[in-house]
Every structure is written in structure tokens, then in C-alpha cells.
Structure 1
Amino acid sequence: MPEWLDVVVRSVLFVTFLFFVTKALGKKQIAQLSLFEYITGITIGSIAGESIMGLDGDIYLGLLGIGIVAFIPFLGGLISLKSKNFRDFTEGKGTIFIKDGKVMEDNLKKERYTVDEMLALLRDKDVFQVSDVEYAVLEATGNLSVMLKKENQPLTPKDLNMKVASIKEPQTVIMDGKILDEPLSTIGYSRGWLKTEIEKLGVTIENVFIGQVNSYGELTVDVFDDKLQVPSPQERPLMLSTMKKCQADLELFALATENKDAKQLYAKNSEKLQNAIDKVTHILKS
């Protein structure tokens, strides 16, 4: 076999083998590397590179070496699930950098971090002043987790005693001009419904780059032509506007009539409708 063809075969074989090895080790191997996994990754890469270009060597020995090295973190992961001490030893523990608003200088030195490096990590979290921080810990992965002081945390609807509508994950039902039936059926809609909604927006499915249905059953689309303006859904604001108009009409009828029974009926239903409006306004507002 020519050497160039041997290299091609070895490359394809090792890339395929490494793909399945990485897949077996799990997503953590590529998302958050511990020191143990980092060393394993370098070793596997070195063995693969040497096996691909080492044309005089036995290819099966390279595969065996990768298999053995990959099995070590796999076994370590199983042990880590059972033993916290082993997990702390192999993956490390978080180190507190700021506690109760005070910088832990000894911990910075222990992790060999300078003040400038700590400030850079804080800026990555959009924090520019140390005195705004209540608690900050350097995770074993090298990320800095930051909790701001209560007075510096952003307001939430809960802080203001406001009710907000719950939101579910939007479903992508159109991609690259093609309908995706699985997410469409997940939310209980048909192709006929989707085509009707598309017609309301004045576009065709073929012109839609991506289309999503939110938790309120509203379809929003992004079209291939960036210059084309697509109207946003108006069902909820329109419904709220209609309810307010009905409530105002009932109040007007109560004022206009001289019949006591009718006046009382109009006023009572106007109050009921106003209560309903108060309960759903946070949902129907766009």
C-alpha cells in the first residue's frame, strides 16, 4: 500500500475511533475538563498523532494504547460518582476569592492568581467593582462564580410583587424553508394551522429561514430577505384591547340606562370583566 494511502486510512480510522471514545466518555470530557481529563486528552492526541504518521508501527498497538488511556478517566468517573474524597482529589474543589465582600488574599496566592487576573474574571461577569460582590468562588473548572450584594442585584418581578406569565421552550417548526413535523406535533399543531399562520404574515414557507412557535401559540419568523419586514403577532394585544373595549361599553351602558335592574346588571358584569382583565393583563401584554 502506498504511504499516502496508508496515512489516509490511518487518519480516517483514528478519527472515527476517537469520536466513539469521546462519545463514550460523555459530554463532560469536552465541556469541563478536570486536570485528570486534560492530561488524558493530551496523551490520547499524542498517541493518535504518532500512530497516524508512524508508518512503521503497528496500527493496532495505537488503538490499544488509546483504549487503555481512555478507560482510565472512564473508571475514574465511576469512582468519582461514589467517592467525594476521590472526586475532590482528581477534579479539585472551589476556592473562595471573595467572602462577605472581602477579598481572600491568601486564597489568591494559593491559586497563584494576581489581583489583575481576579478583576479580569469579575469583568467577564460584568462586575467592575469589588465592593459590589458578596461572594465569589473560583470553581475547579477555572470559572469564577459571583454573587452580588443584595442591593446590587437586578430587580426581579418577584421583588416588585408582580405576576408574570410562565414561559415554555419555543419550538422551531420551520428551518431553511422546510417544515419540521416533530416539534410541530409536540405542541399539538398541524401543517394546516402552520400554513394558515404563514399566510397571515404574508410570506411563504420557502422564504422562511427559521420559524418558531412560543408558549402562547404565536408564530414568529425570520425570512431569508433581511430587508423584508414581517409583522409581529398581534393576537394577544388585540384580545386585551377587545376586552377593555367590552368593559368600557358595559360601563357606558350602565350610565346610559335608567332601568335600575339593567344598570345593576351592566355594572356587575363590568366589574367582573375588569377583574378578569387585571388577572390576564400580564399575559396578554406584548
Structure 2
Amino acid sequence: MNEGLVVFVRSLLSFFSLLIFTRILGKEQISQLTFFDYILGITIGSIAASLSTDLSSRSWPHWIGLITWAALGLLLEYITLKWRYVAKYLENEPTIVIMNGKIMEKTLKKMRFRVSDITELLRNKDIFDLTEVDFAIIEPNGQLSVLKKPEYQNLTPKDMYIQKKASGISSELIYDGILIEENLRQLDKDKNWLLNELKKQGITDISDVFIATLNPSGSLYIDLYNDHMTKITDIGDYKGPY
């Protein structure tokens, strides 16, 4: 009876600790988690389970371990949000595996992917013919993002007998207030061109820009830290504290 009561109390402690830590660490879907995030979640859950039922040891070492793992996970999230280049090495970055309809064999080999792995991921996107694919990108979480060729996109120009130029993939020119000059050079642009484009939209300082992207067709997207939005759409149905 006493053991059952101890397990009950320790289970309450681990349950609410786990609830608090998962709320702090965020609410990404399983499909959005990197492999490390997945292992981190399993480890924290395992420690919480041990805290509940391992009566051969005191509860506080398990609880300290739970706090430590959760704190390290939170610290890693902060680091990857604060420093882009650290995130690049800790979380990896998107990798193009099909470019302009051509499979990047060396890239696949480096990532230890087979062509059959890519075709399987394409079938999950309802693509059964490689000729439809313009670009395919492996995201850091292992998911595949696909840009179809213009003639195969929904409500295709091909069906309407209209020729359409490929838009290509957008490149980041400004990320988190920092200018990425290498991407500017790849697009045959310079800093003065970008500053003029920003001035056209009333932006005088690059540090005010959260993200700016440009695609090969010339479409420029700009998002500011302060967007001056007066009415925010709320899609939630519970007016609670969170």
C-alpha cells in the first residue's frame, strides 16, 4: 500500500514536471522534429518514467536529471535561434537533391541516400514521375520539399497552353537583421541595390528587417520585426493564458 502511494505521488511529480518542460521546449509536430529532438524527447520521457516507478532509488536524482536534460534542450534551442551559423552545424541545413530536374548523385552519396529513398519520398508527395520535379530539397528533419516544373503545377499553364518561366528558388538576402552578401552576389546584385529596394518600401535600416528573400524572377519578399499590424487574427477557440 505504501509503495503504491509512493508511486502515485512520484507519478504526479513526473507528470506535471514533464508537462511544464514540454510546454517550455515548444510544440513542434513529430514530423518537424530533427533526429536529435526526437532522441531528446525519448530520453526525457524515459527519465520521467524512472522517476515514477523506480523505487530502488530516491526520487530527487531522477528529478535533477529531468531538469538537466530539459534545461540543456532549452539552451540548445536558444543557441540555435540566436546564432545562425551554430544552428547550421548543430541542426544541419536544407540540401538540394534534385536541381533543374537533375538528380544530384554526389549529394545523395554524401547524405547516404539512395535514389529509391528519394522516389519513395516523392510518392508520398503524390509524384510518381521524376520528370515532373524541378527542385527537391531534403529538410533538416528528413522531410522532402518539392517544387514541380511550371507545366506540372496545379492549374498548370500547360493545360491552358500558356508558356511560363520558372520562378526558381528564393534566396535569403537578409536573415534576422543580418545581410547575406554571398547570396546577393549569386543573384548578381549588390548592397546598394538592396538598400534602394528597401528605401522604396520606407525601410532605412537593414537591422529592421527580419527576413528578405529574392527569387530569380525578381520577386522580393520583405518581413520586418515590427510589421505594425493593428488587427491580429486569432484562430484559437479558448481565450486562456496561453
Length-normalised TM-score, structure 2: 0.61
Residue matched to 2:118: 118
Opposite residue 153 of structure 2, the aligned amino acid is: Q
Q: Check 1:38–1:121 CA distance in 2 against 1; reply closer, same or farther (3 A cut).
A: same
Q: Is 1:68 aligned with 2:68?
A: yes
Structure 1 CA distance for aligned equivalents of residues 49 and 13 of structure 2: 12
In the alignment, the residues of structure 2 paired with residue 29 and residue 77 of structure 1 have an alpha-carbon distance, to the nearest angstrom, of 15
C-alpha displacement of 1:32: 2.1
How has the CA–CA distance of structure 1 residues 146 and 60 changed in structure 2, closer, same or farther, with 3 Å as cutoff?
same
Q: Which runs of 5+ in 2 are unaligned?
A: 161-232
Structure 1 position 77 matched with structure 2 position 85: no
The alpha carbon displacement at 1:37 in A equals 2.0
Q: Following the alignment from structure 2 to structure 1, what is the Cα–Cα distance between the partners of residues 238 and 16?
A: 31
Rounded Cα–Cα distance in structure 2 between residues aligned with 1:153 and 1:118: 19
Pair 1:150 & 2:150 matched: yes
8 A contact 1:29–1:37 mirrored in 2: no
**For the Cα contact (< 8 Å) 1:36–1:90, is it kept in 2?**
no
The one-letter amino acid paired with 2:87 is: R
Q: Is the 8 A contact 2:122 2:144 kept in 1?
A: yes
* Unpaired stretches in structure 1, ≥5 consecutive residues: 161-168, 173-179, 183-286
Q: Distance in 2 between matches of 1:27 and 1:181?
A: 17
Alignment of 1:16-55 (within 5 A): 16-28=16-28, 32-55=32-55
The offset of 1:34, in angstroms, is: 2.2
**What corresponds to 1:93 in structure 2?**
93
Query: Are 1:11 and 2:11 matched, yes or no?
Result: yes
- The one-letter code sitting in structure 1 at the alignment partner of 2:108 is L
75-84 vs 121-130, greater mean Cα deviation: 75-84
Whichever residue aligns with residue 12 of structure 1, its letter is: L
Distance in 1, Cα, partners of 2:130 & 2:74: 40
Deviation for aligned residue 1:135: 0.2
Is the 2:34–2:142 contact (alpha carbons within 8 Å) kept by the matching residues of 1?
no
Matches within 5 A, 1:204-283: none
Q: Using a 3 Å threshold, how does the CA distance of structure 1 residues 30 and 146 change in structure 2: closer, same or farther?
A: closer
* Greater radius of gyration (CA): 1
User: SS where residue 142 of structure 1 aligns?
Assistant: coil
TM-score (norm 1): 0.52
Tell me, in whole angstroms, the C-alpha distance in 2 between the residues paired with 1:143 and 1:27.
18
Assess, with a 3 A threshold, how the Cα gap between structure 1 residues 130 and 181 changes in structure 2: closer, same or farther. Answer: closer
Per the TM alignment, residue 104 of structure 1 is displaced from its structure 2 partner at its CA by: 0.8
CA distance in 1, matches of 2:142, 2:29: 15
The code of the aligned residue for 1:22 comes to T
Q: What code does the residue aligned with 1:11 have? A: S
Code of the residue aligned with 1:113 in structure 2: it is: F
Count residues in correspondence.
Answer: 166
More helix by share: 1
Q: Which runs of 4+ in 1 moved over 3 A?
A: none
Select the structure with the greater relative contact order (CA < 8 A; seq sep ≥ 6). Answer: 2
Q: Secondary structure of the equivalent of 1:42?
A: helix
CA distance in 1, matches of 2:65, 2:17: 12
CA distance in 1, matches of 2:156, 2:100: 23
Partner of 1:200: none
Give 1:125 shift.
0.7
CA distance in 2 between counterparts of 1:9 and 1:31 reads 33
Cα distance change of structure 1 residues 11 and 31 upon mapping to structure 2, 3 Å threshold: farther
Q: Distance in 1 between matches of 2:77 and 2:238?
A: 38
Structure 1 residues 88, 22: CA separation in 2 closer, same or farther (over 3 Å shift)? same
